């Protein structure tokens, strides 16, 4: 089906009717701090696993603050599930030798996929300072990891331009450097308008980036928290989104329904524009991502 007939179908029939289920998904989790949070995480992994994600990834806390917890979570996924696990790894406050040791450790326990990032400093609002014996950017990290073992590597991409980049073009050059260094795919920062993604995908293609660019989907339930995060990441929060969450502070179940509706509609429009891979920022909760995947035609395997 070409994109014009797909767009016509999306406009003319119930939005989610008859999707073929030809969608690949991945899920991102953060390492739990407490027993209770671990329980929530493992419930979420148990719920989402039957959807046969391409991979699940585990984040690395700002400043490398979750090194052990990230490692333990990834290790348990490898041990207890059949889903490919991807470990996030950053350059912050680590020497090249330390990163090499961590990467070797991952390879030895069977991890074949790293999400390679420069990372943010532990104190929000301060700037990243490269260590003399460390990596200065994600592109350098990708090259370093490839020298350790033939990892599959994902990197970050910024449809609304990384806040520290000199320009959108410079940011795309940086993405190209990461791909040229050996990254297999880019996963984007979250965004709220499909056109933001399409413009970025076109600009990346025009810049000679041929690797797959996977939209990062953030289902919003806590609007105030997302507004704060968006301020830090430079993500535009549309007025209509604020309007949709107005008056729902004391109605958590309604917020969940609104969150699923908004995110699913965006995914549907991305699908109509040819997107077939989606990466969900789950925040360790399964239901929203599960519902959106279901609407996109993804079923337990
Ligand atoms: C999918 C995804 C997952 C993430 N997971 C984590 C996580 O687990 N833990 C965590 O701490 N953070 C995470 N982050 C956040 C990320 O660490 C921050 O956005 C960080 O500020 C930039 O990381 P990067 O890998 O994109 O850096 P880089 O690609 O190195 O880019 C950083 C900035 O420097 C610029 N730059 C880089 N090299 C050059 C150069 N040679 N010349 C000029 N400019 C240059 C870039 O344009 C950009 O502005 C994630 C982000 C995404 C999109």
pLDDT tens for each residue of 46-89: 999 999 999 999 999 877 678 899 999 999 999 999 999 999 99
- Say if strands 24-29 and 55-58 run parallel, antiparallel, or are unpaired: parallel
DSSP code string of the chain: --HHHHHHHHHHS-TTTT-----EEEEEE---SSHHHHHHHHHHHHHHGGG--SEEEE---GGGTTHHHHHHHHHHHHHH-SSPEEEEEE-TT--HHHHHHHHHHHHHTT--EEEEE----SSTTSPP---TTS-SSHHHHHHHHHHHS--EEEEEE-TT--TT-S-HHHHHHHHHHHHHTT--EEEEEE-S-HHHHHHHHHHHHHTT--SEEEEEE---S-HHHHHHHHHHHT----HHHHHHHTT-TT-HHHHHHHHHHHHHHHHHHHHHTT--EEEEE-TT--HHHHHHHHHTT----
Phi, psi of 18 (to 5 degrees): 65, 25
- Say if strands 277-281 and 185-190 run parallel, antiparallel, or are unpaired: unpaired
What average pLDDT does the segment 2-6 reach?
76
Q: Report the nearest-CA residue for atom 10 of ligand 1.
A: 119
| Band (24; pLDDT cuts 50, 70, 90) | very high
Report whether residue 137 contacts ligand 1, using a CB cutoff of 6 Å. Answer: yes
Phi, psi of 81 (to 5 degrees): -130, 170
Q: Mutation test of ligand 1: which of 67, 117, 172 has the most ligand atoms closer than 8 Å to its C-beta?
A: 117
Distance 156 CA to ligand 1 centre (A): 6
What average pLDDT does the segment 115-132 reach?
87
Distance 165 CA to ligand 1 centre (A): 10
pLDDT at 8: 80
Per-domain residue ranges of the chain: 3-295
What average pLDDT does the segment 144-165 reach?
98
The upper half-sphere exposure of residue 80, i.e. CA atoms within 13 Å in the direction of its Cβ, equals: 10
Report whether residue 57 contacts ligand 1, using a CB cutoff of 6 Å. Answer: no
pLDDT at 6: 76
Q: What whole-number distance in Å separates Cα of residue 278 and Cα of residue 131? A: 34
Q: What share of the chain in percent tops pLDDT 70?
A: 99
Q: What whole-number distance in Å separates Cα of residue 242 and Cα of residue 227? A: 9
Q: Which of 14-23, 103-112, 170-179, 234-243 has the lowest mean pLDDT?
A: 14-23
Report whether residue 140 contacts ligand 1, using a CB cutoff of 6 Å. Answer: no
What average pLDDT does the segment 99-118 reach?
97
pLDDT at 134: 97
Q: What whole-number distance in Å separates Cα of residue 236 and Cα of residue 111? A: 35
160: pLDDT strictly greater than 80: yes
pLDDT at 291: 97
Distance 169 CA to ligand 1 centre (A): 15
Q: Compute the mean pLDDT over every residue in the chain, rounded to the nearest whole number.
A: 95
Give the Å distances, CA to CA, from 25 to 184, 215, 235, 287: 16, 10, 22, 15
Q: Which atom of ligand 1 is nearest to the CA of 171?
A: 47
Q: Which atom of ligand 1 is nearest to the CA of 188?
A: 53
Q: Which of 10-19, 160-169, 197-206 has the lowest mean pLDDT?
A: 10-19
Q: What share of the chain in percent tops pLDDT 90?
A: 87
pLDDT at 230: 95
Q: Report the nearest-CA residue for atom 40 of ligand 1.
A: 174
Fold of 3-295: TIM Barrel (3.20.20)
Closest by CA position to 298, among listed 116, 49, 103, 98: 49
Give the Å distances, CA to CA, from 17 to 20, 21, 256, 264, 275: 9, 11, 22, 13, 17
pLDDT at 59: 97
1: pLDDT strictly greater than 70: no
Report whether residue 164 contacts ligand 1, using a CB cutoff of 6 Å. Answer: yes
Q: Which atom of ligand 1 is nearest to the CA of 164?
A: 49
pLDDT at 66: 85
Distance 189 CA to ligand 1 centre (A): 10
Q: What whole-number distance in Å separates Cα of residue 253 and Cα of residue 102? A: 41
| Band (11; pLDDT cuts 50, 70, 90) | confident
What average pLDDT does the segment 8-20 reach?
85
Q: Which residue has the higher pLDDT, 220 or 188?
A: 188
Burial class (CB in 10 A: 0-12, 13-18, 19+), 66: buried
Known catalytic residues?
28
Distance 195 CA to ligand 1 centre (A): 22
Q: What whole-number distance in Å separates Cα of residue 286 and Cα of residue 44? A: 5
């Amino acid at each position: 089906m070409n994109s014009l007939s797909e767009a016509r179908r999306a406009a003319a029939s119930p939005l989610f009717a008859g999707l073929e289920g030809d969608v690949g998904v991945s899920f991102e989790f953060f390492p739990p701090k407490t027993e209770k949070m671990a329980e929530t995480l493992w419930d979420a992994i148990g719920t989402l696993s039957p959807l046969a994600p391409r991979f699940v990834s585990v984040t690395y806390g700002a400043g490398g603050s979750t090194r052990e917890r990230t490692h333990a979570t990834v290790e348990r996924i490898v041990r207890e599930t059949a889903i490919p696990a991807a470990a996030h790894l950053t350059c912050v406050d680590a020497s090249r030798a330390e990163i090499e040791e961590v990467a070797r450790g991952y390879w030895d326990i069977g991890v074949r996929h790293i999400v390679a990032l420069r990372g943010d400093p532990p104190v929000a609002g301060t700037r990243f300072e490269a260590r003399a014996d460390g990596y200065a950017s994600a592109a350098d990290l990708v090259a370093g990891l490839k020298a350790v073992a033939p990892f599959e590597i994902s990197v970050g991409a910024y449809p609304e331009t990384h806040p520290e980049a000199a320009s959108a073009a410079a940011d795309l050059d940086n993405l190209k450097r990461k791909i040229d260094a050996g990254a297999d795919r880019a996963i984007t920062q979250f965004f709220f308008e499909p056109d933001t993604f399409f413009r970025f995908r076109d600009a990346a293609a025009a810049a000679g980036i041929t690797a797959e660019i996977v939209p990062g989907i953030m289902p919003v339930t806590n609007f105030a928290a997302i507004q704060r995060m968006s301020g830090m990441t430079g993500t535009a929060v549309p007025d209509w989104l604020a309007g949709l969450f107005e008056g729902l502070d004391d109605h958590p179940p309604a917020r969940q329904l609104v969150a699923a509706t908004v995110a699913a509609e965006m995914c549907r429009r991305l699908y109509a524009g040819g997107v077939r891979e989606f990466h969900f920022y789950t925040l360790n909760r399964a239901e929203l991502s599960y519902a959106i995947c279901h609407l996109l035609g993804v079923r337990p395997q």
